[in-house]
Structure 1
């Protein structure tokens, strides 16, 4: 199906698949319990999953890029990630 030569890409995709599985399971649990209060609690727990997955996948990506781009390019990527977090926290 897919031929992956880079272990970093495999790791990034694996984390995303795990995240999707957690999200899908949470949606099914919400439907199973059928109560707003329970669904809200499940959703609150998911609030930890998103940022954790983002940080993990971004970290793997930066590790994979470490030897392939210039220091200025790496600084630009890191600055972009920091700006994303600043923007999220300003909401």
Structure 2
């Protein structure tokens, strides 16, 4: 029996795997450098990766759903993601 996996799901999973590999690589680099300053620099660079992956995977998922849900719902989801990102960035 052959299972069909949608292209959007494969792309979303691929970006999440990439994100995880970047996180693991960053952890290894932090350990390798054994420096608080360099660890903070690496960690700061990761602050760009998380939101970017969130936006990309959400966009791919929404594009995969365009034939199944209304544009109004897509806009509401994007507004929700934007609110999450603004709130997270405002927690400094």
Q: TM-score range by the shorter chain?
A: 0.7 to 0.9
| Superposition map of 1:16-55 within 5 A | 16-55=16-55
- Structure 1 length normalisation: TM-score? 0.86
Unaligned runs of 5+ in 1: none
RMSD: 1.5
- Structure 2 length normalisation: TM-score? 0.85
**In structure 2, what is the Cα distance between the partners aligned to 1:72 and 1:41?**
40
- For each residue in 1:15-65, what CA deviation from the matched residue of structure 2 results, as whole angstroms up to 9, or x when unmatched? 000000000000001111111111111111111111111111111011011
Aligned to 2:12: 12
Unaligned runs of 5+ in 2: none
